[in-house]
């Protein structure tokens, strides 16, 4: 297979408006500024631990930091033009560096604070800071290794929900997942494992709550990852909604690719399946990437039979009260990754009413999944990779 793959052309209506491009560019500049600042901080702290006389070692430290910090950005931008072994290597290297950056800074802060406190009680050797810096790097590597193992061991969450409406007499088994993030790092083998796990659950219906594709479609095409999705078995079908990452990479080619591999994408529309209404919303950020603003739930659900169970796919678990006001019985979401990397978990809990797990509010059930895949570092700490089995029973 050729190393370079040509992406399908984006339809004119899907191209981003100048305003959307400007807004996204501003966001990228802010993100790059923060990323560069953290890299500079880590480099400065590491250089402090190396004596000025060790010029060669300092030069190596600067070069390694610059190359590693550039790898993530370089890999992401280059793969928009062509995908080959180099871009896959850069993406993997840069993603791991991003995780290393976070945990090296955290461990270094803990160790330097401990050394500072210890200096009040003991006379520390001059090399204490250098050894502490070295220890923080080693601990960061061990932390990443543990998170990498954790991210590759998927759990099945089983949730039983009773809906007081008339539905299938035997109930409904739904395998639900979100945030597959198929791309450079979540490749064909991981997705084959996902499909095998879902099929073992023998679901009636499979729901994918957004971010099936991780931005750029090129790595997915190169590895032909979608063939794994095509092996999913559910008599009532495989259904999905869009997420923010489909829009970042180009929503029209992403949706076309998913539907070509057996995943029906609900974009601000509903369908009736075995006496149950299943609706999918466009992602809340669609208008920022050249798409139209998504419909209100009332407009989306116009014509749906309110006496039947109503299941909603909405990628981002924001404004949960909208589902309740629209008469939704069950909303499934993702997006948060439950923080993915501790201590980011604390921030997602602040940003969302429900960052992870099950919630019931005034008759509406919600489940927010931590997702199957990962974004950035292929690492999970403080969260798990999961597939959710929703056992629905109906008492109407």
Give the whole-angstrom CA distance, residue 114 versus residue 231.
53
Distance CA 257, CA 228 (A): 13
- For the chain, how big is the Rg over CA atoms in Å? 23
pLDDT tens-digit readout, 231-241: 999 999 999 99
Q: What is the predicted pLDDT for the residue at 149?
A: 96
The string over 169-185, giving b where at least 16 C-beta atoms fall within 10 Å of a residue's C-beta and e elsewhere, is: eebbbbbbbbbbbbbbb
Percent of the chain with pLDDT over 70: 92
- The whole-number pLDDT of residue 219 equals 87
Helical segments of 206-271, H only: 218-223, 226-229, 244-249, 251-260
> Residue 18 has what pLDDT?
57
Angle, helices 18-48/128-151, rounded to nearest 10 degrees: 140
Domain 155-394 is found in CATH 3.60.21.10: yes
Burial classification of residue 337, based on how many CB atoms lie within 10 Å of its CB (0-12 exposed, 13-18 middle, 19 or more buried): buried
Cis status, amide bond into 343, omega within 30 of 0: yes
pLDDT at 88: 80
pLDDT at res. 11: 42
What's the gap between Cα 165 and its chain centre? 33
Give the helix/strand (H/E) hosting 190: helix 188-200
pLDDT the model gives residue 6: 44
DSSP secondary structure of 156-184? EEEEEEEESS---TT-EEEEEE----BSS
CA atoms within 13 A on the CB side of 111: 22
Condensed to tens digits (0 to 9), the pLDDT of residues 168-209 reads 999 999 999 999 999 988 999 999 999 999 999 999 999 999
Summarised one tens digit per residue, pLDDT across range 36-59 is 888 998 888 888 777 666 777 888
Mean pLDDT over each residue of the chain, to the nearest integer: 89
Task: Break the chain into its structural domains and give their ranges.
Answer: 15-150, 155-394
Residue 53's pLDDT is what? Answer: 66
Residue 24: predicted pLDDT: 59
As a whole number, mean pLDDT of residues 210-228 equals 90
User: Residue 123: which residues within 8 A CB-CB, separation 6 or more?
Assistant: none
CA angle 384, 385, 389 (to 5 degrees): 105
Say yes or no to pLDDT of 10 above 60.
Answer: no
Q: Do 323 and 302 meet the contact criterion of CB atoms below 8 Å apart? A: no
Assigned token pair, 319: 């404004």
Phi-psi map region of 362: left, alpha, beta (phi>0 left; psi -120 to 50 alpha): left
């Amino acid at each position: 297979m050729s190393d370079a793959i040509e992406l399908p052309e984006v339809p004119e209506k899907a191209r981003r408006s100048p305003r959307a491009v400007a807004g996204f560019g501003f966001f990228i500049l802010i993100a790059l500024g923060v990323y560069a600042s953290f890299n500079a901080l880590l480099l400065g702290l590491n250089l402090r631990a190396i004596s000025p006389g060790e010029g060669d070692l300092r030069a190596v430290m600067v070069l390694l930091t610059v190359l590693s910090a550039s790898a993530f950005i370089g890999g992401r931008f280059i793969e928009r033009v062509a995908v080959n072994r180099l871009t896959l290597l850069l993406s993997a290297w840069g993603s791991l560096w991003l995780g290393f950056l976070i945990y090296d800074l955290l461990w270094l802060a803990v160790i330097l604070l401990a050394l500072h406190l210890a200096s009040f009680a003991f006379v520390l050797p001059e090399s204490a800071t250098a050894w502490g810096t070295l220890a923080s790097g080693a601990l960061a590597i061990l932390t990443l290794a543990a998170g990498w193992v954790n991210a590759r061991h998927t759990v099945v969450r089983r949730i039983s929900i009773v809906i007081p409406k008339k539905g299938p007499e035997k109930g409904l088994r739904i395998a639900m997942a979100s945030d597959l993030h198929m791309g450079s790092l979540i490749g064909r083998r991981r997705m084959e494992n996902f499909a095998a796990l879902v099929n073992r659950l023998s679901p009636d219906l499979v729901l994918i709550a957004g971010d099936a594709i991780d931005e750029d479609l090129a790595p997915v095409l190169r590895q032909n990852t979608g063939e794994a999705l095509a092996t999913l078995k559910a008599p009532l079908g495989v259904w999905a909604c869009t997420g923010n990452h489909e829009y970042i990479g180009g929503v029209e080619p992403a949706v076309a690719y998913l539907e070509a591999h057996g995943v029906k994408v609900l974009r601000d529309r509903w369908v009736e399946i075995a006496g149950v209404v299943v609706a999918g919303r466009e992602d809340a950020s669609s208008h920022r990437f050249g798409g139209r603003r998504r419909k209100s739930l009332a407009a989306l659900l116009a014509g749906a039979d309110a006496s039947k169970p109503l299941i909603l796919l909405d990628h981002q678990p924001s404004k949960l009260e909208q589902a309740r006001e629209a008469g939704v019985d069950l909303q499934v979401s993702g997006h948060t990754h439950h923080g993915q990397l501790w201590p980011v978990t604390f921030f997602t809990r602040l940003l969302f009413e429900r960052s992870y797990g099950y919630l019931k509010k005034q008759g509406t059930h919600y489940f927010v999944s931590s997702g199957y895949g990962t974004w950035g570092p292929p690492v999970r700490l403080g969260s798990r990779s999961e597939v959710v089995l929703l056992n629905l029973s109906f008492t109407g």
